[in-house]
Amino acid sequence: MTDDSTNFVGKAFTEERFSGESWDGRTYTDCSFIDADLSGLTTRGVVFTDCDFTGADLSESVHEASAFRTCTFRKVTLWNATFRHSTFLGSTFGESRLRPVTFDEVDFTLCSLGGVDLRSVNMTGCRLREANLVGADLRKAVLSSADLAGARTAGLRLEEADLRGAVLDADAWTSARLTGATVDSFQALAYAAAHGLRVD
């Protein structure tokens, strides 16, 4: 176990309170934040790797250029949290309250978001490459210019979502639910092709 005030390895912060604190440039590896109070926390350039946030409260927290790599977020509260230019590479979300939340150019590559509720969330410019979105609810979400290449989209709910400029694989046009979604002309052609239509 290492603890030099800025780099933490294998440390348990279970049920500890960090509400309103500000962290800069720290690293946390294989640490436990189970049931911790992180509400109002501000992080800048902080890197979390293989950390467990099960049951943690991150409501009204703000994260700038921070990384949450292969972390676990179960039964987590992100109510009114803000993430800017941050990454959740390979992390897992489940049974959590994720909205309302702000994601500004956030990387969700290889994340597991199956079944999560992200209705009406603005995810403009976010990267969701190869993410698990099976059964996720993104109705009325804004996914303008988002990258969903390689994402698993079976049962994904995109009704009334804004998809203009988003990158989606061909199978997304048939596996996701798209009633009332807003698309651009190029996407409309892709949708038609995916359903076997010919456009002359």
Q: How do the domains of the chain map onto residue ranges? A: 1-102, 108-200
Give the separation between CA 155 and CA 165, rounded to whole angstroms. Answer: 21
**Does the pLDDT value for residue 1 go beyond 60?**
no
How far apart CA 163 and CA 129 sit, in angstroms, is 15
Classify 108-200 by CATH class. mainly beta
pLDDT band at 3 (very low <50, low <70, confident <90, very high): low
Q: What is the pLDDT of residue 97?
A: 84
What confidence tier does 2 reach under pLDDT thresholds 50, 70, 90? very low
**Tokens representing 3?**
């603890």
Span of 78-82, 93-97, 122-126 with lowest mean pLDDT: 93-97
Fold classification of 1-102 is Pectate Lyase C-like (2.160.20)
Percent of the chain with pLDDT over 90: 90
Whether the domain at 1-102 and the domain at 108-200 fall into the same CATH topology: yes
| Stretch 64-76: mean pLDDT | 97
Please report the pLDDT score of residue 197 as a whole number. Answer: 83
The residues, any chain, with a CB within 8 Å of residue 170's CB and separated by 6 or more, are: 190, 193, 194
Which of these, 15, 56, 60, 16, lies nearest to 41 by C-alpha position?
Answer: 60
Is the pLDDT confidence value at 4 over 70?
Answer: no
Phi-psi region of 24 (alpha: psi -120 to 50; beta: other; left: phi over 0): beta
pLDDT recorded at residue 96: 85
Q: What is the pLDDT of residue 137?
A: 96
The mean per-residue pLDDT over the stretch 164-186 comes to 95
The tens digit of pLDDT for each residue in 134-155 reads 999 999 999 999 999 999 999 9
